[in-house]
Amino acid sequence: MHMSHTAEIIAVGTELLLGNIANTNAQVLSQSLSTLGVNVFWHTVVGDNPERLKEALDAARRRADIIITTGGLGPTYDDLTKQTICGAFGKPLILHRDILEDIRTFYESALHVPMPENNTQQAELPEGCTVFDNPVGTAPGCAFESGGVHVLMLPGPPHEMETMLRRHVEPYLRKLSCEVIVSHDIMTFGMGESSVDQLLHQRMSHMENPTLATYAKPYEVRLRATAKAADEAAAEAMLAPVVEEVRQILGDVVYGVDVSGLPEACLGLLKEKGMTFATAESCTGGRVAERITALPGASAVYRGGVVSYWTSVKGAVLGVPQEILDQYGPVSEHCARAMAEGARRITGADIAVSVTGAAGPDPDERGVPVGVVYIGLAVPEGTFCRKMDSGRRRRDRIQGVASNHAFDVIRRYLTGLPIDRETEI
């Protein structure tokens, strides 16, 4: 028999209710819990308020057997999570001297400053708990079990929470579970969510295990195929035909399975072929460069690029001929081609991609409408161009979708697909 666990995530922090930050911790935890086969039916956010945290804990105890809290473990005076949870579950708080020393050491050796004295309370933890040490911050986390409910307290800063999740929480939860859920993400670019949904609806609506669901990510659509089974091999055997069928139905808009996005897909393809690339960006202003260099190991394939925001920089640094700039303007197919060729030449990369367009809020000075963007690609065989027209969307949306087009053009070239096809987004 497979016992399925249910977790609830309670985030504590007035800064969430005031909108100063988004609850990204709940997202990261949910992804992990989904992989571990733990159901999540509720996320709750309450402020630094003991009464409402108590109410949230009481509701969660009725509905779930795992409660994970984030936040409220910090050194400041409104951090009350531990006290409130210990009160609700009848556990005393104990000062751990060894943890206090760890916190002091972290301040001195990693941050090079003495520990502020208000950090002492971070070393107080519930009696008899499992301690989760915090190698990237100061507040340790912990877990205890009480009346069949597991309570896990994690710090609020996202990188501390995530480090603790991988090091301590996932191993802790893996011991509780005896059913696995395996998912594969099928990544697509170039087709809208409605169209993907219509193509797959007949197939999806009859599925119970495995399941298939569409999610609109920014600028693209992800499909997640998920199977529950007694072990990983059984789940994988259930998923393989689903992934294959989706690939067949959607065709070459599918750019990868279980990759984080188009930049990672391109990184893999370029590594495989031992090729390097460069960028020349105007309206995306460095977004293509930033997205590839966010990935560890990018230096194996990415040489660098130019952000030619001013027209003069397109001429002086990339060598775009003045006649092209005068005759066709900086937002034109001719300019996109010359920018890509220039970036390829000055960096010595095997291929180069360029982006020039009108991201808004105003049209380009020659009246090119907002949303029109040209993507150039210079490769050993010649130079190609794709025109994209995303319509009048917001500046950051246009920049985002244009950066995806840049990677899509690289991906299509490297996999032998046509580059200048019409796209729906």
Check binding of 294 to a copy of itself (CB under 8 A): yes
Q: Are 310 and 317 in contact (CB under 8 A)?
A: no
Check binding of 20 to a copy of itself (CB under 8 A): yes
Distance of closest approach, residue 82 Cβ to a copy of itself, in angstroms: 18
Check binding of 423 to a copy of itself (CB under 8 A): no
Quick one: 222 or 247, whose CB is closer to a copy of itself?
222
Q: Which residue has the tokens 């504590």?
A: 12
Quick one: 36 or 85, whose CB is closer to a copy of itself?
36
Quick one: 205 or 248, whose CB is closer to a copy of itself?
205
Burial letters 14-45, b for 16+ CB under 10 A, else e: eebeeeeeebebbebbbebbeebbbebeeebb
Distance of closest approach, residue 293 Cβ to a copy of itself, in angstroms: 2
Check binding of 194 to a copy of itself (CB under 8 A): yes
Check binding of 347 to a copy of itself (CB under 8 A): yes
Check binding of 46 to a copy of itself (CB under 8 A): yes
On the question of a cis peptide bond just before residue 263, with omega within 30 degrees of 0, the verdict is no
**Choices 147-155, 198-206, 239-247, 248-256; region in contact with a copy of itself by CB under 8 A:** 198-206
Among 37, 190, 256, 360, binds a copy of itself (CB under 8 A): 360
d(CA 303, CA 20): 37
Among 392, 418, 420, 421, binds a copy of itself (CB under 8 A): 392
Quick one: 118 or 415, whose CB is closer to a copy of itself?
118
**Choices 141-149, 210-218, 235-243, 332-340; region in contact with a copy of itself by CB under 8 A:** 210-218
Quick one: 265 or 306, whose CB is closer to a copy of itself?
306
Please give the single-letter amino acid code of residue 31.
Answer: Q
Among 305, 330, 357, 376, binds a copy of itself (CB under 8 A): 305
Check binding of 308 to a copy of itself (CB under 8 A): yes
Q: Are strands 141-146 and 130-132 parallel, antiparallel or unpaired?
A: antiparallel
Check binding of 62 to a copy of itself (CB under 8 A): no
Residue 68: CA atoms inside 13 Å, Cβ hemisphere, count? 31
d(CA 255, CA 264): 10
Neighbours of 329 (CB within 10 A): 17
Check binding of 207 to a copy of itself (CB under 8 A): no
Quick one: 133 or 197, whose CB is closer to a copy of itself?
197
Among 61, 91, 228, 287, binds a copy of itself (CB under 8 A): 287
Neighbours of 244 (CB within 10 A): 10
Quick one: 167 or 393, whose CB is closer to a copy of itself?
393
Distances (CA, A) of 298 to 264, 273, 276, 393: 9, 14, 10, 30
Q: Which residue has the tokens 């609700």?
A: 88
Distance of closest approach, residue 380 Cβ to a copy of itself, in angstroms: 19
Q: Are 132 and 88 in contact (CB under 8 A)?
A: no
Check binding of 259 to a copy of itself (CB under 8 A): no
On the question of a cis peptide bond just before residue 361, with omega within 30 degrees of 0, the verdict is yes
Check binding of 367 to a copy of itself (CB under 8 A): no
Q: Give Cβ neighbours of residue 271 (< 8 Å, ≥ 6 apart).
A: 297, 300, 301
Q: Are 291 and 263 in contact (CB under 8 A)?
A: yes
Closest CA to 237 of 247, 225, 249: 225
**Choices 146-154, 246-254, 300-308, 412-420; region in contact with a copy of itself by CB under 8 A:** 300-308
Quick one: 14 or 383, whose CB is closer to a copy of itself?
14
Quick one: 215 or 251, whose CB is closer to a copy of itself?
215
Joined together, the tokens standing for residue 63 give 């509905």
> Between residue 104 and residue 163, which ones bind a copy of itself under the rule CB under 8 A?
110-113, 116, 118-119, 136, 157, 159
Q: What's the full length of the chain, in residues?
A: 425
Collapse the DSSP code of 321 into the 3-class scheme (helix H, G, I; strand E, B; otherwise coil) and give the result. Answer: coil
